[in-house]
Amino acid sequence: MKEPMSITHGKIILIGEHSVVYNKPAIAVPFLATDLRVYIEKNKENELECSFYYGNLDQASEDLAGLRYIIESFLYEYKINEKIKITIRSTIPNERGMGSSAASSVGVIRALYNFFQIKHNDDDIKKWAEISEKIIHGDPSGIDLSVVLNEKSVYFQKNKDIEIFPINMDGYLVIADTGKKGRTKEAVNGIKKMLENNDPNIIKSIDEMGELAEKAKNSILNNDIILLGKIFNSFQSKLRILDVTDEKLEELIKISNENGALGSKLTGGGKGGCMISLARDFNSAKKIVDSLKNKATNVWLFNLKSEIV
């Protein structure tokens, strides 16, 4: 296959998932260990190929409804009659809260602009990707798109300018995949329902999650990974109250914390998906990785100094 028309990366939410939907701050970093490549070639029909579908674009499965809509709308808007085949090759785990849907929306639109040599900027890409994200997720906060588009760590608050927030800490981040699909939409809707019932515990938890995210920002600025670990654990206890964790996530979190992690939490939408842990140094991180290896389907290790900026 020829050169990809675009390469995008996923995201890792360090802190602030779910409370970010309610205007609280969140911190997220690009997931540079994996990527999503989009290839386009001329074809007899409009076709789409990805890990779980290969066929005509107009018959793509429900999971691809967002992508299909923006591809068809893009071709219509730019009056393109030429038929194409779009191939998506991705190493970002699918539906694990790691931003694979945002990466595919951004990647496909960027690839279309590049393939047809249409002048564009990031705002144009964002406009299309937002449509697809809304079809998939309902009413997302926008944090996934902001990281995928900028490929930088961000301190994010809905309806505010994005703050690029470089992370330069001594320590390591371990990411482990439960192997179970996350259920972001279900988790987001569950919280919404509890709030509609004016559950005081939920309102209080979301406020406290906002405060924890602010404290996390300061601990990162002060290079205080021990405090950040404690904040991770406190944030996870709030996510439990919000009922967005599950048994497998809790199992990995327990193993990780028992093997020297400074703190652990789920990342992304929850109810499946991935968890993250903090480690003070490489040896400690290695011990955590080893302890998770037989229990998780995949484990990644990041240096918080350089890789995640």
Name the site residues for ligand MEV (rule: CB under 6 A). 13, 17-18, 20-21, 97, 140-141, 143-144, 184, 188, 268-269
Q: Specify whether 139 is catalytic.
A: no
The Cβ-side half-sphere exposure at 175, using a 13 Å CA radius, reads: 25
Q: Which residues contact 119 (CB under 8 A, 6 or more apart)?
A: none
Can you tell me the distance from the alpha carbon of 89 to that of 172, in angstroms, rounded to the nearest whole number? Answer: 28
Quick one: 93 or 140, whose CB is closer to ligand MEV? 140
From the candidates 144, 177, 224, 246, give the one annotated as an active-site residue.
144
The CB-of-208 to ligand MEV minimum distance in angstroms stands at 16
The CB-of-94 to ligand MEV minimum distance in angstroms stands at 13
Can you tell me the distance from the alpha carbon of 184 to that of 141, in angstroms, rounded to the nearest whole number? Answer: 12
The CB-of-13 to ligand MEV minimum distance in angstroms stands at 6
Place of tokens 């066929």: 55
Contact present, 59 and 46 (Cβ < 8 Å): no
Contact present, 177 and 251 (Cβ < 8 Å): no
Can you tell me the distance from the alpha carbon of 250 to that of 209, in angstroms, rounded to the nearest whole number? Answer: 19
Quick one: 21 or 86, whose CB is closer to ligand MEV? 21
Quick one: 33 or 188, whose CB is closer to ligand MEV? 188
Quick one: 95 or 224, whose CB is closer to ligand MEV? 95
Quick one: 46 or 267, whose CB is closer to ligand MEV? 267
Can you tell me the distance from the alpha carbon of 309 to that of 281, in angstroms, rounded to the nearest whole number? Answer: 19
Place of tokens 């389907």: 297
Start-end of H helices in the chain: 65-77, 100-115, 122-137, 143-150, 184-196, 200-221, 225-241, 247-258, 282-292
Tokens at 262, concatenated: 């400074």
The CB-of-206 to ligand MEV minimum distance in angstroms stands at 11
The CB-of-155 to ligand MEV minimum distance in angstroms stands at 14
Which residues are catalytic, by number?
A: 144
